[in-house]
Structure formats: C-alpha cells, structure tokens
Amino acid sequence: MNKIIDRVIFCLTNNENYIDFWNYISKVYKNKFNVIPTLFFSGTNEEFLNLVQTNRLSLENGEIILLPRIKNIEYNKNLDWTCTWGLFYGASLYPNDVCMLSGIDQIPLNSIFFEKIKELNPRKNYIIGFADAYDNLKNNYGDIVYPSSHHVGLGKSFKFIFNIKNSWNEELQQIFLHKKLCPEDNYWGLDELYSSHMIKQHIDSGNYCNILFLNDFKKNWASGRIDRANGSIYLTDNILEDIKNGKYTEYHSTRPFNTNSNMELLYNYIPTIINEVN
C-alpha cells in the first residue's frame, strides 16, 4: 500500500540556530507520521563527520546526505541559499518517492496537510502546499513567488519541473546564473525566487507535469499555528490537550532548539497519523 508522503526533505548548514532540531524532528516524522526524514547537509566533510560522530546529527531516525561546498559559488555563512536549494535537489534524487519539503523548525501537529495532499494525488500532480503564503509577492521577472516549504511531488517531478542537473556542482552553477533574480547581495532567497520562476516557465510551456496550488495557508494553516512570531511559547495543559485532539497545525519553533521548553512532552501529545492511500 502506498503512503501519501514517502519522504520529508530538510536542509542544514553548520548553524547553531538549527542543528539541534534534526534529532527531534526526525523522530517526530518517523514515529508519528510514518515518513522517512531525509536531511541534506551543506558544508565541509569535516563539519559533517564531526556532527555525525558526536551524535548531534543522529542517523537513528532518518537519512543524512552531505552536499559539499562548491568553489566559485558565493554564499553567506548564516544565510546560505545553496543550503536551501538542497531541498529541491535532494528531492530529485528519489524519483519514485513522494517528497515533501519543509523547514527543520516546523513541527507538524496534526494530519490536515496529509489529508489535503491525499485528495490532490501527489503521485500524479506536483503540489505547492503554501501557495498563498506570500500574498502575490513577485520576483524580478514578474513571477509570483512561493515558499519552498511544503512543495510535494514525486522526485522525478522535482527534477523535470526545475530542470535539475545530475551533479550538485552543475546544479549550483546553473542556479547561480540567475543570481540577478535576488535583490540581496548575499543571494538569500534565491531558492524561492528561482523555483517560482521555473514553475511559471513550466506552466507556460504546457509540459506534462500538472502543478496544483493549495491556497489554504492563510485560511487554515497559519491560524492553527503555535507560532514564535506571536511571542514566547507556553505549552499549557489546555494547549497540550488541544494538540492531542488535533486542533493545531504546526509548532513554529523558537531558535535555537534549546530555547523551546517541554519538547519531549510536546512529542508525547502529537497524534500518530495513518500515512496511507487506500
């Protein structure tokens, strides 16, 4: 029997604000959602081995792949666009798996997104799950910009729509040719600006891969978030009980990970979902 979603794809650099989320979020997705957590680490081999050997990046609940640094590609250490493009490149490596992209600090709390994706059939369609999140923001080419989080589709759909190359080196060289899309000197956001441009190009070309836009972020998802944007997060007994009953969509964590309290208690209250297509 097929799963609704096979893999959830994350990305990381050696950034203390995010590293410690992996061991937690991989346990959540594996045990609560029956999904293979897959992490793409953008950095040096030395950084990668140190984090794995010290168990800060554990292999217990998911898979971790190194994306090495590429010469002559500009990036900012703390705002690294090459890391975030690793989401799209990473998904393309699993042609027959339904992959979902996610930020590593976004902890799912109920099954609503899976249920909506199931209705849209990600084995046939490519789905932009947060299509309305940016209020019709446009890039320098006039294309509507979509968040990279919660794109869902077969790996081969990612590869086809975004014309992803077979090697990481070739892929980054290709993306960097479009650096003029990005108004920032450090090219932060280039992943979303470029992916949105390619989505528009794909639709205009009339190619076979059907792209669906899920415009549910403002209406349901964001309003159901326990969100760091609203200030400090306190997990009261009432909130935990509502999480257990599936009321909330997502725990949008504070950073770094250790600034979040009662995370094991939160884990215990996250419902276990059935990730299957009948």
Q: Please answer whether residues 152 and 5 qualify as being in contact, where contact means their C-beta atoms are separated by less than 8 angstroms.
A: yes
Q: Please answer whether residues 187 and 81 qualify as being in contact, where contact means their C-beta atoms are separated by less than 8 angstroms.
A: yes
Q: Which residues of the chain have pLDDT under 50?
A: none
Place of tokens 């609503």: 112
Contact residues for 158 (Cβ-Cβ < 8 A; gap 6+): 88, 91, 92, 99, 126, 151, 164
Domain boundaries, the chain: 7-219
Which of 108, 115, 125 lies closest to 160 in space, CA to CA? 125
- Give pLDDT, residue 74: 85
- Give pLDDT, residue 208: 67
Distance CA 221, CA 270 (A): 16
Q: Please answer whether residues 161 and 211 qualify as being in contact, where contact means their C-beta atoms are separated by less than 8 angstroms.
A: yes
Residue 74 CB coordination number (10 Å):
11
- Give pLDDT, residue 104: 98
> Where would I find the H helices in 96-186?
112-120, 155-161, 168-176
The domain made up of 7-219 has a fold known as Spore Coat Polysaccharide Biosynthesis Protein SpsA; Chain A (3.90.550)
- Give pLDDT, residue 136: 85
Q: Please answer whether residues 43 and 70 qualify as being in contact, where contact means their C-beta atoms are separated by less than 8 angstroms.
A: no
Q: How many helices (H) and strands (E) does the chain have?
A: 9, 10
- Give pLDDT, residue 16: 95
Peptide bond into 256 cis (omega under 30): yes
- Give pLDDT, residue 209: 75
| Dihedral-angle region of residue 58 (phi above 0 means left; psi in -120 to 50 means alpha; beta otherwise) | beta
3-state secondary structure 162-213: CCCCCCHHHHHHHHHCCHHHCCCCCCCCHHHHHHHHHHHHHHHHCCCCEEEE
The tokens describing 74, both together, are 């500009």
- Give pLDDT, residue 103: 97
Contact residues for 189 (Cβ-Cβ < 8 A; gap 6+): 81, 182
